[in-house]
Chains A and B, each alone.
Chain A
Amino acid sequence: MASLELNDIQGNILRGYGFPHAAYLFLRADDQAGGRAFLAETVGDVTDAGHWEERPATTTNLALTCAGLRALGAGDPVLAALPDAFCEPIRERAPRVLDDTGESAPEKWDEGIGTDASHILVMINGSEGNEQPFADAVAGAIDRARRHGLTLIHRQDAHALDNRREHFGWADGFGQPAIEGGIDRSGPGQGIPQDDGITWRDLKPGEFVLGYPDEDGQTVSGPAAWLLRNGTFMVYRKLRQDVVLFRRQLYEEAARYGRTTGLDATLDGDQLYELMAAKVVGRWRDGLAIELADRRSEDESRKLGDHAQDDPDNDFRYHDDDGPGFRCPKGAHIRRTNPRDALGWGGRMVTRHRIIRRGMPYGEYLEGLQDDGHDRGLIFICFNADFERQFEVIQAQWCNDGNAFHLGDDKDYLLGDNRGTGKATIQGDPPHFARAQPLIVLTRGCEYLFVPGLSALRQLAAA
């Protein structure tokens, strides 16, 4: 087993920083020399995956689009060796593959995002209590860009919410893949289920970092190998969330669910809401998987918004004990995004479709059911070695479609059903057919990027 060159791999890939402040700066390099000079100056600041003696105040990471690589002079032989998914203009790809149509279509996206002008992404994170160093780092990056003749075409700020929340109210970020040689702590349930029904195996690093063997034993080669080694591909999506619409619909649906199942005799509106919430996502709002606990006590139920599970148990499977989905519905969000063994064959059809998530909410948290008209949502970020095989299968085949789970056209309730059957089945006796809602999550921007290793960055920057 090759050990990972941690000092060459960018830190945010293998490590969830857990820092509450984030800024995403999209830059356009108006000339090659300026762009390269900017890279050369920035690469010294880039945080790698090596050990931290002490936690830094801020971190810096860099990613490049295909247009950016072209603008920086990576050269045609290299560009031709990069995947189609990465090189296709995202505004053409997203509607076709990711179903970013209608209200989520590129015409509605934020200015600059997902265009030919988007070349370099600088990601800066600031740790707890370090607001000033964070602001300084961001200002410094913007100033450096200006000095080298780059244009800031889009800026996105984001910050963590209390209790690891995202805006719909769930504690988030659990269930990251366990990687051989990885540095983040992981436990049973995060890897690949083994046939003994008990143990789990870590995933091969090549699924997430290029240059190492993946689950099929492949590694990088060819004219782009020097660029790809120790790097990875990154998905950036700005997902706008309509919190009030979501909550209102969920309350109504929960009431209906109570009537269908007769649970309204024993659970009040709030408790039903929490149960319905757990059914559509697959985790209770504090992060506990519904597969492990299909009911919560009244006391627990009232507090689900107030705290997050520190280290929720991920050690569960679906196939043998919950094939029909009576505990965790077959179409629940986490069951769709990581089916584990639910697709049968011991989980073999899931292994090659995992992703690392590093998203961050943006916008102020909103309590209650009164809309304030402000923009809020999730900056969804994930890393994978192969867009088509990993992220796009999850998004297009598993979330935007129900066929893999024998759910016909049913889409993921959480992501919103723009144009499907309009239902999400909560399996049970009797089953409940929840009305799936359009427009609760809208895409406001998308980018496909490449996150190079540090030596690749230096090589790219060298004139």
Chain B
Amino acid sequence: MRTVKRLAVLHDVARTVGAAWPTRGGGSRSGRSYAVTLLTPVRPESAHDLAAHLRGLGRGEDSPLAKLPYVHFARWLVIEQLKTDWPGAPVPPPRLQSPYLLFTVSLTAPDEEHVRRREDRYVERLPESFLHELRSRIPSDVDAIWGHCVGYPGTGDAEAFVHYLAQSQIETALFHVGYPDVTVDEVRRALRLREQLIDFARDHQDERDPSRLQQAYLQESPTWLPSS
């Protein structure tokens, strides 16, 4: 009896481990959220210019990334060389032959349709669909950045562009998502809703008359919640 139990436990463990083992896209995806990590070699003589260009980009809603609707967080970082000046660093230290551009994105797709093709449940659409979006939404920004990179084909040819960046993708081993399966749009709307409710609650703290309270609420709350 105990052996059977043990086998059952082992079986469960094996199934859990098997399901969680990073397969193609497995580690990079968590529900409808996806972690894109791209590393592209930068032409050494261009590295400074690229870094300066990135630092000069507009921030927040002026960032080119603001035009990508599913992106929660993203960063660009030029790695000129690996850091080796710390105790315990390996000898010889790992060195890069060229600088690299790191681009990471945390995004959440709005529905399953964006995640996989309807006809074939197992074909992942991410990250290809995201890479297509980069090209279609912010082509000149993308050219200005990846134009500094070795082998970059430009945004002219969609297939070549997507292929280049897909080849640059590194699989994520562990992706932690603080708020699973909500899009940027949903987050923004929820934040606005919260703020409006707080303002209403604070401003009507003193309302003693229930019908006036109700009236005020019915009048104001439709502006908080877009009908959906």
Contacts and interface: CB of A to CB of B under 8 A. Distances in A.
B206 A423 contact: no
B208 A259 contact: yes
B198 interface: yes
Contacts of B205: 256, 260, 432-433
Interface in A394-433: 408, 421-423, 432-433
Nearest to B206: A256
Contacts of A433: 198, 201-202, 205
Contacts of B195: 421
B208 A423 contact: no
A180 B65 CA distance: 53
Contacts of A408: 194
Max chain A C-beta neighbours (<10 A), residue from B201, B205, B206: B205
A259 B204 CA distance: 12
A435 interface: yes
Nearest to A421: B198
A433 B202 CA distance: 5
A221 to B, nearest CB: 14
Interface string B182-204: 00000000000011001001100
Contacts of A422: 202
A423 B205 CA distance: 11
B54 to A, nearest CB: 23
A352 B224 CA distance: 42
B200 to A, nearest CB: 10
A392 B195 CA distance: 27
Q: Is the interface of A mostly helix, strand, loop or mixed?
A: mixed
A62 B201 CA distance: 51
Nearest to B194: A408
A256 B208 CA distance: 11
Contacts of B194: 408
Contacts of B198: 421, 423, 433
Q: Is the interface of B mostly helix, strand, loop or mixed?
A: helix
A435 B202 contact: yes
A13 B134 CA distance: 58
A407 to B, nearest CB: 11
Contacts, number: 17
Nearest to A260: B205
Categorize the interface residue count of chain B: under 10
A371 B198 CA distance: 33
B213 to A, nearest CB: 13
A408 B194 CA distance: 10
A84 B61 CA distance: 32
Contacts of B206: 256, 259
A412 B205 CA distance: 20
Nearest to A433: B202
A81 to B, nearest CB: 18
Contacts of A256: 205-206
A272 B42 CA distance: 67
A423 B202 CA distance: 7
A330 to B, nearest CB: 15
A423 B194 CA distance: 13
Nearest to B207: A259
Contacts of B202: 422-423, 433, 435
A421 B195 CA distance: 9
A422 B208 CA distance: 22
A408 B198 CA distance: 11
Interface in A371-399: none
Max chain B C-beta neighbours (<10 A), residue from A421, A422, A433, A435: A433
A259 to B, nearest CB: 7
A256 B201 CA distance: 13
A435 B201 CA distance: 11
Interface string B13-50: 00000000000000000000000000000000000000
Interface string B203-218: 0011010000000000
Contacts of A259: 206, 208
A194 B206 CA distance: 43
Contacts of B208: 259
A284 B206 CA distance: 25
Max chain A C-beta neighbours (<10 A), residue from B194, B202, B206: B202
A64 B205 CA distance: 50
Interface in B114-145: none
Interface string A259-300: 110000000000000000000000000000000000000000
B197 to A, nearest CB: 11
Nearest to B191: A408
Contacts of A421: 195, 198
A423 B198 CA distance: 9
A326 to B, nearest CB: 18
A75 B206 CA distance: 62
B3 to A, nearest CB: 39
Contacts of B201: 433
Interface string A106-139: 0000000000000000000000000000000000
Interface string A423-450: 1000000001101000000000000000
B108 to A, nearest CB: 22
B179 to A, nearest CB: 14
B125 to A, nearest CB: 35
B147 to A, nearest CB: 35
A432 B204 CA distance: 11
A434 to B, nearest CB: 8
A153 to B, nearest CB: 39
A432 B194 CA distance: 16
Contacts of A260: 205
A138 B202 CA distance: 50
A405 to B, nearest CB: 16
A422 B195 CA distance: 11
B214 to A, nearest CB: 16
Closest 3 CB pairs of A and B: A433-B202, A423-B202, A433-B201
11 contacts: A256-B205, A259-B206, A259-B208, A260-B205, A421-B195, A422-B202, A423-B198, A432-B205, A433-B198, A433-B201, A435-B202
Given A259-B206, A433-B202, A433-B205, 11 more contacts: A256-B205, A256-B206, A259-B208, A260-B205, A408-B194, A421-B195, A422-B202, A423-B202, A432-B205, A433-B198, A433-B201
